[in-house]
Amino acid sequence: MAGHSKWAQIKRQKAKNDVAKGAMFARLSREIIVAARLGGADPAGNFRLRLAIEQAKAASLPAENIQRAIDKGSGTLESDTFEEIRYEGYGPSGVALLIEAQTDNRNRTAADLRVVFSRNGGNLGETGCVGWMFQQMGVATLTGSVIEEDLIEAAIEGGATSYEIRPDGEGAEVFCAPGDLEGLTESLRCAGFVLDQAEVRWIAGSTIQVEEPEVARQIFTLIEKLENLDDVQRVSSNYVIEDSLLETILA
């Protein structure tokens, strides 16, 4: 096994404020609705729903909101019909952007994305223009002290393909095939690791090194505005920024 990517680029959202709580709650609720609709309303038999509920609880989404979202997804309560769509485009300096959306109106979503791209130095592209650069992987994020020998044993047991431990040893990310994520999280928990988050994420196989501070700021602004759109669930990119430059920008 080997490390997968630089920590400066992993979960950039942790280095900035999240979107407004109301928008975040709406996004979490929508994921629960979609998960329940696709896999059923019982979290015990629906791993995606179980993950969505765990993330919602971690974000302090009220229990009644969680249950309402489950009821909407199962059809117990009336709800808009959301479909999952992936959009692709380019940002400043040609960085690739993969946008995962859940929407009840794909024309509106595409129009909103196009406006954000055009106003922030990017271009909304055709399906497939950058998708080939990305691979979908399961990612388990750990917190607390991580001993590499123990992690290797648990990761192999859970079907992991690679891992990366933070330089200070406080936390790690473990990667696997999407279908192995449930087994991996169970293996890590049984080994005593503290699981912060588990998700299926698109990860770039080829990257673009960004060295100019102004270009980096433009990329961050574009991604942030995309993330703030109601229909957008997640934005993945292939930019790479050295830690020293990132610290300067975020200072």
What pLDDT is recorded for position 5? 42
Going from the C-alpha of 200 to that of each of 134, 135, 175, 179, 236, the distances in angstroms are 12, 10, 10, 9, 11
- Domains defined for the chain, CATH in brackets: 82-132+212-236 (3.30.70.980), 134-204 (3.30.70.980)
Q: What's the predicted TM-score (pTM) here?
A: 0.82
What pLDDT is recorded for position 2? 40
What pLDDT is recorded for position 3? 36
Query: pLDDT digit string (tens) for 223-248?
Result: 999 999 989 999 999 998 887 888 78
What pLDDT is recorded for position 218? 95
Residues contacting residue 32 through CB under 8 Å, at least 6 positions apart:
49, 52, 53, 56, 66, 69, 70, 73
What pLDDT is recorded for position 21? 67
- Averaged in consecutive runs of 10 residues, what is the pLDDT profile of the chain (251 residues)? 45 49 83 93 93 89 94 89 94 96 94 97 95 95 94 96 91 95 95 92 92 93 93 93 80 67
Going from the C-alpha of 138 to that of each of 51, 167, 188, 218, 225, the distances in angstroms are 12, 22, 13, 29, 25
What pLDDT is recorded for position 17? 47
Contact between 29 and 56 (Cβ < 8 Å):
yes
What pLDDT is recorded for position 150? 95
User: In this structure, what token pair is assigned to residue 59?
Assistant: 């974000």
